[in-house]
Structure 1
């Protein structure tokens, strides 16, 4: 009972209604697709008796970063050495890429695994059933692939090390301003990589990875382990099957701002928060394509006109009519403006 209470304190549970799964396009800017979700890998729903159960825990994400793309959304455009700048009401966020390229939204699956592991470990710790977690995470390669719902074999082992490189060398700088007790404005700046450090041991003759060790960045550790009320949200397991990068960004945005109800965001603000390098016109075209496909886990996407341009309406598939009416009559319209 204590564990259940702790989980309720840390997170919102997602609906478990399965979504249709079929093969989708490789990148967010590729041609027509019947679905945003790729097919689940073979044996995805089966436990592996020789694999520890880390892959079987619920997926969680940090609410504070779910409405901003701290990664690139394209598979093809690596964006080495580039910087994305996001202006906020009380500061800004900068994402800086290393020489090997910026971490992608698919690389970020490893960070989701770290957040999920810490949350699960803290649930057990607060319930008196485990030790307080440290920043070191030592998953097996199979655990990583299972958790991220990716097939084994092929180039997955080689790509894992490349993903760790990009995560370590993509830095996040967050600058916030606030008024101090004496009335003076305080500016706080902090920066760290999406991943602090990693170590991979592999067999030289064939490149097969033997073990992986990752150091979770301190900003994630503080949010999950040290915060009084961690802002952690559960992510639908079919998130990992969303193939286009823009689809993944839209799901994370929807999970944060709509939750179990409804929200509206302007196309312009979504474009600015996505870090897209294309034109606004092209982004609108891709966004309308996702609205037409409309098979995100948990959420329905529609478009409607707004005061400053087109609006994306995000609605939870299981929201009751009474909840939606209350939101339309309440604060929902305010999301047409800058939400921060």
Structure 2
């Protein structure tokens, strides 16, 4: 679904360099992601069904993620939410009314997320909705100034509409209708979102996407952000051994294909820094190095 060759370390190709006019309007929306799920490990990084309950504690912030029998929502399933949030923010910025209930074109989503548009790619949307609606959260992490203390789903309900008559598309998913959780919708209404580089969808590995999210959230408009390697490992939600995590960071340091940021493992081997690439525009401000104070 994501990588034609999992051994490749470069970015995925741009699969839709030219789009029809209808798709163009939608794909031109700036990628937006909610800050809370960028900072905290809400989504599974596994490509296999993840049935484990996750507990994450960071200071006074607590998060419990419980999957359904279909498995935990993955970071690739999150693409649907990024698409939804991007559409909502575009409408909000135009001054249009918005709602937590959305109707999304299946093909528009696949193009937006730089995916193939074959029959199997449409069918995978149903599996993604299974995981998104089945995964339940309990958290003290605020969105929109509201503290959630009850169980809720990332997507509270979903509906799939299929083509009904011929044309070679009969039975194929045509439209997605989803109802976002209050937790996510509050983030949109409170502007608790960040823009992301479109090459996010070209990253091949789940951990690369997660590292980009974390860098985007914490580095922001700073020139550099420094964090302990073990804390970074915790923030990603990775389940692989930390030795393997170090190896992956070393590969990323050698390849340097994360959008917007360069990554470096410091000489002590226990800290990692993310530095903004010089070609990334940011508002003028005093340069400083922020050291994560979490342990």
Secondary structure of 1:79 counterpart: coil
C-alpha separation between the residues in 2 aligned to 1:99 and 1:251?
29
| Superposition TM-score, scaled by structure 2 size | 0.87
C-alpha separation between the residues in 1 aligned to 2:175 and 2:9?
38
C-alpha separation between the residues in 2 aligned to 1:311 and 1:212?
42
C-alpha separation between the residues in 1 aligned to 2:151 and 2:288?
37
> In structure 2, do the counterparts of structure 1 residues 210 and 91 end up closer, same or farther at CA, with 3 Å as the change threshold?
closer
Displacement of 1:269? 0.7
> In structure 2, do the counterparts of structure 1 residues 50 and 189 end up closer, same or farther at CA, with 3 Å as the change threshold?
closer
If asked which structure has higher relative contact order (CA below 8 Å, sep 6+), I would say: 1
Secondary structure of 1:302 counterpart: strand
Pair 1:108 & 2:69 matched? no
| Equivalent position to 1:199, from 144, 159, 176 | 159
Contact 2:155 2:179 in 1 (8 A): yes
Displacement of 1:325? 8.4
C-alpha separation between the residues in 1 aligned to 2:5 and 2:237?
20
| Equivalent position to 1:166, from 131, 140, 148 | 131
C-alpha separation between the residues in 2 aligned to 1:325 and 1:50?
42
| Superposition TM-score, scaled by structure 1 size | 0.76
C-alpha separation between the residues in 2 aligned to 1:203 and 1:271?
44
Match of 1:79 in 2: 50
1:157-191: CA deviation from partner (whole Å, max 9, x where unpaired):
100111111111111211269xxxxxxxxx96133
Aligned length: 281
Match of 1:16 in 2: none
Contiguous gaps of at least 5 residues in structure 2: none
Taking the TM superposition and a 5 Å limit, the aligned residue runs for 1:86-125 are: 86-125=56-95
Match of 2:214 in 1: 253
1:252-302: CA deviation from partner (whole Å, max 9, x where unpaired):
011011123210111101111222222222222222222222111111011
Larger Rg: 1
Contiguous gaps of at least 5 residues in structure 1: 1-22, 178-186
C-alpha separation between the residues in 1 aligned to 2:20 and 2:152?
35
Pair 1:327 & 2:288 matched? yes
| Equivalent position to 1:144, from 109, 122, 126 | 109
Match of 1:280 in 2: 242
